[in-house]
Structure 1
């Protein structure tokens, strides 16, 4: 029970990797708070995690991150573990990128995550642990992925800087970068229909050395490791969970 009596906040914890992690934190004794943008999935997530608390919030709205942190403080007084998982996808070639799509993806995946971190660290004390979801998109050049890759690459570098800044407070900050994981996010790419998603999945599987897509709980296990005392001498790292796609290519 690595998280007994720990207060855990999962931003983007109502589905996919975030939900798998929230459930795993609770199973190991954590008091879980989670956010999402869809009240129906938030309610379902909370129902699946005894003692958890859910909040409707959009990480792109900086004020909503402030409200969530204040709400967690009001209930439990602090945050011991923070998992920033909220994110959106978006595929378009250079000629097809629009300013609004760029701003949306970066507003969530980069700006929103940075300011959520800024708001949350005030509630964290010595020994706190932070994990942020990155992406192998920041490590490889996939055609049509420029907008998303730029946001995640920027996030990865920013988190390295912040990990160094948080060292004097004994707060560890790490990233976990999933490869092809079959989550709801994969099916919400703007401009991609079911046939497009199926073709994308087939293309990814063909290039993964393990010849399969990953599962949300496999990423969650990496998240819990980095958030736990098992990783007490690890900070500033970016752990790839990708079936060997980047490392063995």
Structure 2
């Protein structure tokens, strides 16, 4: 018997990295997981690997795509117990080069996409459901070239506080998990061939002195999704090797 037997979960950005590992773990514990992402081929491959999963291609910043996702969850007929609003993008651009298009793309996915993912889930959420948002240590810091990304993750943190107040009466918990230097494809997208050098450089300055793994973040998300965190509301749990704690 898994701790999520009979539960239904949604994981956005579920085709790779932290999203994939979290979806894999939730499914292994008995949940049926709906995963979504913009790359259909990768998403279908991920669903096949996970097993107890349904792939729903889509862009979380597009309202119609999120509606289509939740229409399929509704058809399953068991409501929704876990939402992991994980989809996100970054852009490493200094202020003087940051264009409106790039700024909007970061906020569309990271902020508006998180808003759509949670708001449109409300009619399906079972009492006592768990909502987990992906934040970042960048939401607290001030890394050069990451102003749009950092601001977007600070907004996600603010969402969790307000939504915890609004939804707590139904026992719905909203929390944030904030990764630090975790070895995912996210770094390759941001830095290309320099990704190993960049992540090792950041990780070397942490107490852990190494990058984290997607599995380590997935373990914390699983805790927040479970009844083991039943008195945790509005929290921001850092999985950063100590980066933001020293």
Fold shared per TM-score above 0.5: yes
Greater mean alpha carbon deviation, residues 131-140 or residues 76-85: 76-85
Match of 2:210 in 1: 212
Q: Does 1:138 align with 2:139?
A: yes
Where does residue 194 of structure 1 map in the other structure? 193
User: 2:180 is matched with which residue?
Assistant: 179
Q: Which blocks of at least 5 consecutive residues in structure 1 are unaligned?
A: none
Q: CA RMSD in A?
A: 1.1
- Where does the alignment leave 5 or more consecutive residues of structure 2 unmatched? none
Question: In terms of mean alpha carbon deviation, does 171-180 or 76-85 score higher?
Answer: 76-85
Q: SS state of the match for residue 207, structure 1?
A: coil
Matches within 5 A, 1:119-130: 119-130=120-131
> What is the aligned residue count?
245
Rounded to whole Å, the distance in 2 between the matches of 1:74 and 1:57 is: 18
Partners of 1:16 and 1:183 within 8 A in 2: yes
| 1:96 Cα deviation from its structure 2 partner | 1.3
- With 198-207 and 142-151 compared, the bigger mean Cα shift is at 198-207
How far did residue 12 of structure 1 move?
1.2
Contact 2:161 2:234 in 1 (8 A): yes
Does 1:229 pair with 2:227?
Answer: yes
Contact kept, 8 Å, 1:7 with 1:79, in 2: the verdict is: yes
Question: Which position in structure 1 is the counterpart of 2:23?
Answer: 22
Q: How far does residue 193 in structure 1 lie from its aligned partner after superposition? A: 3.4
Matching of residues 2-41 of structure 1 within 5 Å: 2-41=3-42
Query: What SS does structure 2 have at the residue aligned with 1:80?
Result: strand
Paired with 2:52 and 2:199, the residues of 1 have a C-alpha distance of: 36
For residues 183 and 90 of structure 2, the distance between their equivalents in structure 1, rounded to whole angstroms, comes to 13
- The answer to whether the Cα contact below 8 Å between 2:110 and 2:152 also exists between their aligned partners in 1 is yes
With the length of structure 2 as denominator, give the TM-score of the two structures.
0.96
**Contact 2:175–2:235 (Cα < 8 Å) also in 1:** yes
* Distance (Å, rounded) in 1 between the aligned partners of 2:49 and 2:180: 26
- Is 1:99 the counterpart of 2:97? The answer is no
SS at 2:143 equivalent: coil
Q: In structure 1, how many angstroms separate the alpha carbons of the residues matched to 2:27 and 2:4?
A: 8
- Does the 8 A contact of 1:66 with 1:116 survive in 2? no
Question: What is the distance in 1 between the residues matched to 2:175 and 2:192?
Answer: 34
SS in structure 1 at match of 2:200: helix
Preserved CA contact (<8 Å) 1:7 1:76: no
CA distance in 2, matches of 1:199, 1:127: 43
